[in-house]
Amino acid sequence: MKNEKNERIATWLAFALLPLSGFATDVYIPSLPSMGSELGASSIQVQMTLSVFLISYGISQLFIGGILDSFGRYRLSIISIGVFTLSCLVIAITHNIYVIYLMRIIHGITVAIIVVSKRAYFVDKFEGDRLKRYLSMFTIIWSSGPIVAPFIGGYLQSMFGWQANFYFLAILAAVLGVLELIYSGETLKHRAEFHLKKIAGIYWSMISTLSFTLGLLMLGFAYCMVMVYNMTGPFIVEHQLHLTPVIAGYCSLILGFAWMVGGFISKGIINKPFYTKMAANVALQMLFVVAMIASVSFLSNLYTLVFFAFVIHVGAGFTYNNYFTYSLSQFPKNAGIASGLSGGVVYVIVSFLSYGIVNFVPAKDERNLSYSYFILILLSGVIMFLIFNRHKKSKRLLAEAPVAAYIHDEV
């Protein structure tokens, strides 16, 4: 980046590329039923296009951080944008579900490189309160994808068919790629030696930090609530309620906004006691999911579906914003690895858990969706209980340490 003006534009471009993973998953959500019909595929087969992307995206992030810390962010990111653009075009012109699976795997790898490099960009360029403020904005900016993408996708589906979603992704990526070539540049100041044993040691030190690992589980459960709706919601809206893809797109837009609301609430009370606000959040989610299960017996329609899902997704966005900010800022000297590991583990959890849940509780109606939410919130409650107990134990040990030192000195 040659001057300060370019740096400002590059920062905005970094924010603009962060929602690409959300666009890659959410823009064609209203098209899932139509894709199944036109490709002669079952609902599980078309839902698998989401799962293979998430698995590829998650696993790639586990390894890409170390590569980016050693070889730089910029060139790999530019190449990935180009490959992503071409793979979108291949999906748009093919009618083979297995070719789509392969292209979605490529999507996962390339989007992982792009997003991890852009997360690391902020740690490279900023520090202190400014960095903390930018990190807390990540989930808010990212949530623009789930808000805008299904809304656009619903109209594209109605007017042009499911292929238009992937033409749109190709055009979006191409435009951002050209702007990156003009305005952006390399931000890594000190390249780490690409030594597999040393990198493995860094990974192990992060994973063995219990607070970090439990936080990743909380991130996974929170985002899985969104993904379970993404995989089941369009079928409920279009098949059970007999509404249009445009309505399904509006529902996804509203629930994407719920995630953003959760992020804004989190940012607004960032200085409140961490464990207290997180425990209260999980308790409120449990209260509303129990109410959702109870209400289905006597009232079930589009409005109840969106209302309860909205409240639960606000809580999920709140959880994700808090734990993502904490996880990414915990290891500033290895920003690429921390970014990749955080995103990678989360998406691996989400891909397997969401696919398992929609198979165990199929996309049939609001009742099944409420059971899926209940499972995830219950798991979140268990992890929060472990986190809270560990926090209490740590406080007690800290309180006892000065007393033990005093007795030792007296003896």
Domain count, the chain: 1
* pLDDT tens figures, 109-148: 999 899 888 877 777 777 667 766 776 677 677 767 767 8
Full residue range of the structural domain in which residue 134 is found: 4-410
Query: For residue 314, is pLDDT > 90?
Result: yes
Query: For residue 351, is pLDDT > 80?
Result: no
Q: With residue 392 as reference, give the H or E element that holds it.
A: helix 366-410
Calpha distance 199→372 (Å, rounded): 37
**CB under 8 A, 24+ apart: contacts of 194-201:** 194/66, 194/67, 194/70, 194/71, 199/66, 199/337
Calpha distance 371→383 (Å, rounded): 19
Burial of 378 from C-beta contacts in 10 A (0-12 / 13-18 / 19+) = middle
What is the reported pLDDT for 82? 94
* pLDDT tens figures, 72-112: 788 888 999 999 999 999 999 998 999 999 999 999 999 98
Query: For residue 406, is pLDDT > 50?
Result: no
Calpha distance 339→251 (Å, rounded): 30
Instruction: Name which of 154, 162, 370 is nearest 252 in CA terms.
Output: 154
Query: For residue 177, is pLDDT > 50?
Result: yes
- Compute the average pLDDT of residues 18-31: 85
Kindly give, in sequence order, each residue whose CB lies less than 8 Å from that of residue 49, ignoring residues fewer than 6 positions away.
Answer: 35, 97, 100, 101, 104
What band does 411 get if pLDDT is binned at 50, 70 and 90? Answer: very low
Residue 193, domain CATH: 1.20.1250.20
* pLDDT tens figures, 232-265: 888 888 878 888 888 887 887 888 888 888 888 8
What is the reported pLDDT for 35? 87
**Between these two residues, 291 and 19, which has the higher pLDDT value?**
291
Query: For residue 332, is pLDDT > 50?
Result: yes
Instruction: Name which of 317, 310, 318, 316 is nearest 291 in CA terms.
Output: 310
Percent of the chain with pLDDT over 70: 84
